[in-house]
Amino acid sequence: MTSTSARRLAIVLITVVSVAYTVIGLLYFAFSPTSGVVAAVAMLGVVTTHFLNVRAGLRGERPPLFPLTVVLQAVATFLPDPFLPNGWSGVAAPMLAGTVLVFLPLRWGGPLVGVMVGYMIVSVAYVNPAVALFYGVTVATTGGMIYALVRFMRVTAELEQARAELAEAAVLKERLRISRDLHDGLGRSLTAIALKGDLASRLMERDPVSARGEVSELVQVAREAAQDVRQVARGYRELSLAGEVHRAAALLESSGVGCQVHLADVTLPRRSEEVLAWAVREAVTNVLRHSRATTCTISTSQRAGALHLEVVNDGVPADGGNGQGSGLTGLAERAAQAGGSVEAAATGAGGFRLAMKVPT
């Protein structure tokens, strides 16, 4: 049920109850012109203040001049009792009980409604104990019904707002995923394209055969980049650690960086393997883009129920940074989602080390 439907239902039911008590009160005291006039004036005050209070309650707000409107409704409910025989407040108090429960904390509103029930029973018991009991029960049940309807409407509105916020959060999460995947996926490919294009241009004059080979590899990398973009758009990214390490080693070697690979023979959960593959891709991208490395080592080892990946190179970032860019931030998010962790820092030997740990 939408908040609009809940609001309409609550308004209709509360209006029906209010109109019913208004008609009953006016008919009950219509036998005497004097009592009828007093009852009409009193009922006007009750209905007006009750309308202002409940309308604000349905909106999740407090009425203007609060708590004066609640006090005025209480005055219009109990002040006419000495002038109207046989318990005028028995007709108006049920609506006041609803207002009290809506706007006061239950630890205060509940006891106040209990006092109202007791007053109804005591004030009318001398006339008719059965009627007195009926008045008391009516005050409690009608007040509870009004409170429940208002809360029902408010909870429905809050749930609808929460659903809208969740939908917005899901959209934001998808945007972040696309941004992260594009950065991680295309970063390596675009770096490789730039390197191979630069190398091909330098070889064009003195070694055309090698230049054509570099151009062919450049075209292949560009096709892989296009495939990456399509996979990101579909939300499907399945990487293997071994395949990514193989591509990384080939790219490093072709860029003049010696690469050594030492992989443990371990079967990994799908999520853990993909996160490690992303780590290798990000690390190699940073080696090629941001460092002056000549050697790089990619190794994995299993310890204490976790697989440890290390990518170490002998070149600190060319800009002197600490490696904590947006790519490593996204990598840390991926590791956390897989139940692992990632570290990246310069080594004491003047190199750089990226380490990741994921559960096996």
Please give the domain boundaries of the chain with CATH numbers for all domains.
3-166 (no CATH), 239-360 (3.30.565.10)
Max Cα–Cα distance, the chain, nearest Å: 118
Q: Is the dihedral of CA 213, 215, 218, 222 positive or negative?
A: negative
Rounded (to 5) percent helix, strand, coil in the chain: 70, 10, 20
Three-point CA angle 186, 215, 189, nearest 5°? 10
Q: What is the per-residue pLDDT for 311? A: 92
Q: Is the dihedral of CA 45, 46, 47, 49 positive or negative?
A: positive
Tell me the C-alpha to C-alpha distance, in Å, between residue 330 and each of 25, 152, 179. Answer: 69, 42, 9
Q: What is the pLDDT of residues 27-44, one digit of tens each?
A: 766 666 776 777 778 778
Three-point CA angle 180, 182, 188, nearest 5°? 110
Tell me the C-alpha to C-alpha distance, in Å, between residue 350 and each of 279, 312, 316, 347, 353. Answer: 21, 11, 6, 6, 10
Q: What is the pLDDT of residues 154-210, one digit of tens each?
A: 887 777 777 777 767 766 766 676 676 666 666 667 777 777 777 778 777 777 777
| Other CB atoms within 10 Å distance of the CB of residue 206 | 8
147 within 8 A of 98, measured Cβ to Cβ: yes
Q: What is the per-residue pLDDT for 86? A: 63
Instruction: Give how far the C-alpha of residue 284 lies from the chain's centroid of Cα atoms, to the nearest Å.
Output: 35
| Other CB atoms within 10 Å distance of the CB of residue 137 | 14
In 97-143, the DSSP E strands lie at none
Q: What is the per-residue pLDDT for 3? A: 57
| Other CB atoms within 10 Å distance of the CB of residue 116 | 24
263 within 8 A of 299, measured Cβ to Cβ: yes
Q: What is the per-residue pLDDT for 4? A: 65
| Residue ranges of the chain with per-residue pLDDT less than 50 | 320-322
